[in-house]
Amino acid sequence: MTEIFVPTPEHEALRDLVRAREDARLDRMRARHRLGKFCLRHERGMPTTCWGTTRRAWLGRQAFSLPGQQQAFDDYLFAVDQVDRRIERLEAELDRLAWEGPHRELIARLRCMRGIDTLTAIGLVAEAGDFTRFKTAEQFMSFVGLVPSERSSGESRRQGSITKAGSARARRLLVEAAWNSRRRPTVGYQLSRRQGGQQPQVLERAWRCGAADELDYNERIILSIILEPGFHGTWTTQEIARAFGDETATADALAGLHAHGLIHRHQEYVFASRSAARLIEINEAA
C-alpha cells in the first residue's frame, strides 16, 4: 500500500484560510475589472497603472449625471472596497498564524529565499503539508505537476508537456517564486530582515539555491528565457534555440545550467526546477 499524508485538523484549518484568501483575491480581480470596464465605457481613464491610494482617491471623486449610472458606479466601487477589507482581515490572520502557528519555523525558513515571503511560504506549507515525505526534489516536482507527461510503449518513449497534477495553487506559487532567478541575486533590506535570526546552514542553503553569480552571460539569458512568465519554465530545446538565435551557444548554455542544477532535461524537454529543489534543500537544512 502507498502511504499518504493525512493532514491534521490544524493543517486543514490553515489550508481553508489560505484558499479563502485566494478566492478573495480572484473576487477582487473580477470586481476591479468590472469597475474598470464601466469607467472605460464612459470614457473615463483611470490614473496610474496600479490600484493604489491615488486611483482610489480619483474614483471617490467621480460623479455621473444620470442616477442609474451613479448607482451602478457606486455598486461597483462598493464591491471593490468590500473585497479589499475581506483580504485585509484574511491576511492579518494568516500573518498571525505565520508567527504563532505550528508551522512558524518552516515558514520562517522558507522566507529566507528570494521570491518567497509570508503569503507564498504559508501557501506552500498549506498545500504541500509535510515536506519531509519528499526524499528528493523530483518527488516534490511530481507532486505539484512540474514534470513532463509521458506516453511510452515498448521501446518507444514520448514525453509531452508538464502533467499539471496536484495543486494548481502550489504550482503557481512555485513558478512565480522561480521568476526571481532571472536576476542577479542580492540580499536587500527586506530579505535581510526575513533572514534575521536563522541558522547559518539555512542561510547558506537559501543563498546557494538562488545564487547565479557563476553563470556566464549566455547562461543568464537562456535561464531568463526558460523562466519567462506565462510559460511555466517548460520549453523544448528547439524553442529555446529559436528564441536565443544561436543553436551552438544554446546547447553550451543548457549544459552549463544543467551542471549547476538550475534545469532538468528529459529528452527534448527542458524545464526549470530550481524553486522545487530549493524547497527540499532548505527544509533539510533545519
Same domain flag for 53 and 115: no
pTM tops 0.85, yes or no: no
Residue 84, in any domain of the structure = yes
Same domain flag for 93 and 114: no
Domain that holds residue 275: 110-285
Same domain flag for 95 and 114: no
Angle ∠(31,34,37) on CA atoms, nearest 5: 145
Residues 6+ apart with CB under 8 A from 280: 131, 134, 136, 137, 140
Same domain flag for 121 and 83: no
Residues 6+ apart with CB under 8 A from 284: 205
Residue 206, in any domain of the structure = yes
Residues 6+ apart with CB under 8 A from 162: 145, 146, 147, 148, 149, 232, 234, 271
pLDDT digits (tens, 9 = 90+) for 89-107: 999 999 999 999 899 999 9
Same domain flag for 118 and 218: yes
Domain count, the chain: 2
pLDDT digits (tens, 9 = 90+) for 108-151: 998 988 888 999 999 999 999 888 888 888 888 888 888 888 88
Which of 84, 101, 118 lies at the terminal end of a domain, its last residue? 101
Residue 2, in any domain of the structure = no
Same domain flag for 93 and 22: yes
Same domain flag for 184 and 277: yes
Same domain flag for 119 and 97: no
Distance between the two ends of the chain, CA-based, in angstroms? Answer: 30
Same domain flag for 198 and 62: no
Cβ distance 34 to 76 under 8 Å? yes
Same domain flag for 133 and 268: yes
